[in-house]
Structure 1
Amino acid sequence: MYSSKPTIVYGFHGLDNDIAISILNQKSEFKHSNNKYDWLGNGVYFWENNLERAHQYALQDSQRAASNVKDPFVLGAVIELGNCLDLLDQKYNDFLKEAYQQLKDDLEAEGTPLPENRSFGKTDFDFKARELDCAVIRYACALAKEQGEPFDSVRAAFIEGDPLYDGARFFSENHIQLAIINPDCIKGIFLPRKSTQEIELSEEKPSTNL
């Protein structure tokens, strides 16, 4: 009875400007990611309450050769998590552990090896290709659906980036990520705006124009 989630959270999604405008005008929808290496399985991905990280990601994505992000942009969304596979809640961690064991047993019976988490490149040790985690989460979602309680979303915290300072165990890209499985959880979409404080600070900066 103590596992209820906040009714509403804000999510931020980094994408291309033209695609963002199309979504705002209801001419297209958020892309539902279903790569085998996705960190939280299938869904529309958002950074929870983290506008700056979403913008940072869009900028990073735009620098990839095959990226469709040409003009980095961020959309905000008002989200209800619904029935959430929340990996910040111990009971769901326990459930995911059980799902892993069942998946492992099933694959062993078939003679199929488990997927592995791995890096995308030789110099990348962050294991960003989360094929094992993705497979386990997909399996857990399938189990929940079979039991008549399908998950609407998945939520988890990730430790990522460089230490904030020498000896720190806080890192530069720590975040909470959401994968929204049920699109009906996205109640509204908005253009993020600067806060009054940010506007005032911007106006206080001296002009560099001569």
Structure 2
Amino acid sequence: MSADHRYSRSLVLGFHGCDESIGRQLIAGEVTHLKPSKNPYDWLGDGIYFFENDPERALHFAVTAAEHPERQLTKGRIEAPFVIGAVIDLRNCLDLSHQQGIREAADALEALKISRGDKPLPVNKRANDEDDDIIVRNLDRAIVNYLHVLRKGAALSPYDSVRCPFSQGKPLADTSFFHEYSHVQIAVRNTNCILGYFLPQNPLSSPFQGLVN
């Protein structure tokens, strides 16, 4: 395992796609926090999931979940797509956009292989025939969750959050690395990271709308 990370004190804005009833309850103070997610497609392990600085991507997620309940993108049914914002202090963050975080995940994978013996590893797989992104991330989830187990066993400070960029959707061109739904996702494990919730402004359309035929 790699050395313990320094604590992060950077603040970010996170956006969560959900049903409007849940967002309104949060703003009204009727519930304290969003519920942590523990689904097989939760790429970054257990936690409360946010799109970093991207309310439009969060809204797209909520709309997709509402229009395609058969994909089971959310535990509960979304009837009215909605976006809630949060001010997040990442604190002690496992950042998988940095080499140190990637090395620690690689170490966790090797340890996971050993721990399972002859039992095969979980497999990332497509949710259905139309899934080009392989969104059911059983393996990635197992790696991150086992990483947390290893840190606890080694008496290292637990991670408060996990952060990772993802390329998702179709590329903008055949050889382009830019994908239509790429984003940075955050899984908050420690609810003390969430300093408060807010209602964002309606996500804006593209600034080039009307200029492109």
Task: Please tell me the TM-score bracket, short chain as reference.
Answer: 0.7 to 0.9
Structure 2: state its 5+ residue gaps.
Answer: 71-75
Which one has a bigger Cα radius of gyration?
1
1:96 pairs with 2:110: no
1:13 pairs with 2:16: yes
Q: What RMSD over aligned residues (CA atoms) do the two structures have, in Å? A: 2.3
Task: Tell me what 1:36 maps to.
Answer: 40
Q: For 1:68, what is the secondary structure of its paired residue?
A: coil
TM-aligned CA deviation for residue 37 of structure 1: 2.9
Residue 136 of structure 2: which of 129, 149, 173 is its match? 129
Q: For 2:158, what is the secondary structure of its paired residue?
A: coil
**Deviating more after overlay: 59-68 vs 13-22:** 59-68
The 8 Å contact of residues 112 and 146 in structure 2, kept in 1 or not, is answered as: yes
How far does the alpha carbon of each residue in 1:147-194 deviate from its partner, in whole angstroms, 9 at most, with x for none? 231010000000011112343221101100000000110001001025
Task: Tell me what 2:149 maps to.
Answer: 142
TM-score by length of 1: 0.86
Describe the shift of the 1:10–1:173 C-alpha distance in structure 2 as closer, same or farther (beyond 3 A).
Answer: same
Q: For 2:196, what is the secondary structure of its paired residue?
A: strand
Task: Tell me what 2:95 maps to.
Answer: 86
Q: For 2:39, what is the secondary structure of its paired residue?
A: coil
Task: Tell me what 1:60 maps to.
Answer: 64
The 8 Å contact of residues 36 and 135 in structure 1, kept in 2 or not, is answered as: no
Equivalent-residue separation in structure 2 for 1:8 and 1:63 (angstroms): 33
Describe the shift of the 1:83–1:4 C-alpha distance in structure 2 as closer, same or farther (beyond 3 A).
Answer: closer
The 8 Å contact of residues 3 and 89 in structure 1, kept in 2 or not, is answered as: no
The 8 Å contact of residues 84 and 153 in structure 1, kept in 2 or not, is answered as: yes
The 8 Å contact of residues 47 and 176 in structure 1, kept in 2 or not, is answered as: yes
Residue 188 of structure 1: which of 184, 188, 196 is its match? 196
The 8 Å contact of residues 87 and 157 in structure 1, kept in 2 or not, is answered as: yes
The 8 Å contact of residues 45 and 178 in structure 1, kept in 2 or not, is answered as: yes
Q: For 1:76, what is the secondary structure of its paired residue?
A: strand
The 8 Å contact of residues 5 and 92 in structure 2, kept in 1 or not, is answered as: no
Counting only pairs closer than 5 Å after superposition, residues 148-159 of structure 1 correspond to structure 2 as 148-159=156-167
The one-letter code of the counterpart of 1:63 is E
Structure 1: state its 5+ residue gaps.
Answer: 206-210
The 8 Å contact of residues 103 and 139 in structure 1, kept in 2 or not, is answered as: yes
The one-letter code of the counterpart of 1:130 is R
Aligned residues: 197
